[in-house]
Amino acid sequence: MLIEATFLGEGFNGNYIFSNVTGDITQDHLWLNQQRSNFPGDRIKHGARVKFFCTMFSRRRKPTRYTDCRQVEVITE
């Protein structure tokens, strides 16, 4: 799925958090699994607008996480 969002850095339990999410889904925020995402969070500035593809990882009753990032592109810094 295609995601465009504002990168807010590392958040809860070391996962990446994004705000103002648009693309294949539209929501206020999105958590990206840091260990399984392949997202280059250490090279992207906080507040940068990014676009990438990822896979949705359902966890039944828990909030959905997203993983397996590819084709990460920084739109604005």
Map residue 65 onto helix, strand or coil: strand
Q: Are the C-beta atoms of residues 18 and 29 closer than 8 Å to each other?
A: yes
Q: Please name the helix (run of DSSP H) or strand (run of DSSP E) that holds residue 34, with its range, or none.
A: helix 34-37
- Rounded to two decimals, the pTM is 0.86
The amino acid present at 53, given as its one-letter code, is F
pLDDT tens-digit series, residues 22-35: 999 899 988 888 88
State what percent of residues in the chain have pLDDT above 70: 100
In order of start, what are the domains of the chain with their CATH numbers?
2-76 (2.40.50)
